[in-house]
Amino acid sequence: MKKALLALLAVCAVVAGLSVNLLFKVDFVTLDGESKQWRDLHGQWVVVNYFAQWCAPCLREIPELNEFYRENKQIAMFAVSFDTLNQQQLLALREQHNIEFPILAEISATPWQQMPKTLPHTLIIDPQGKIVRELKGEQSAASLLRVITKLQGS
């Protein structure tokens, strides 16, 4: 009986440890050091924009994305570099191109399966955490707002 009780306690400890680990697991860290899980964003719309420093259309759309970010604070927005860049390179890129919205510096988990094949590439994620639209090519503040407004109405 004592061995069974100890075995049960050991199993409970392992389950509790795994649960705590999942509860506090970090999915991504922004360039500013903010650690988050994607589930922290449930309940709100999320825009994720893939870009690269060598992609002219990506760089052209940054002022429009900045405008969208400034005017739609209820929508979470993040930039993801298509290229693997270290923190110093990302900081320089942010400063050089005046990127105002958060850039993801580390990503350990995503709600999507793979990197996009074309750039620029923007994902629209609904409040339930599901990708509901993939936008290829340059976006404007107005086009993003139009797409999200239409999706909210569906």
Task: For residue range 79-126, list pLDDT tens digits in order.
Answer: 999 999 999 999 999 999 999 999 999 989 877 767 898 999 999 999
Beta strand 104-107 pairing with 28-30: antiparallel
Which has the closest alpha carbon to 49: 153, 112, 139?
139
Token representation of residue 92: 């320089």
How far apart CA 84 and CA 106 sit, in angstroms, is: 10
Which has the closest alpha carbon to 138: 75, 80, 74, 60?
60
Residues 6+ apart with CB under 8 A from 40: none
- Specify whether domain 28-153 bears CATH 3.30.930.10: no
Give the per-residue pLDDT at 7.
52
Give the per-residue pLDDT at 111.
73
pLDDT in tens, 33-69: 999 999 999 999 999 999 999 999 999 999 999 999 9
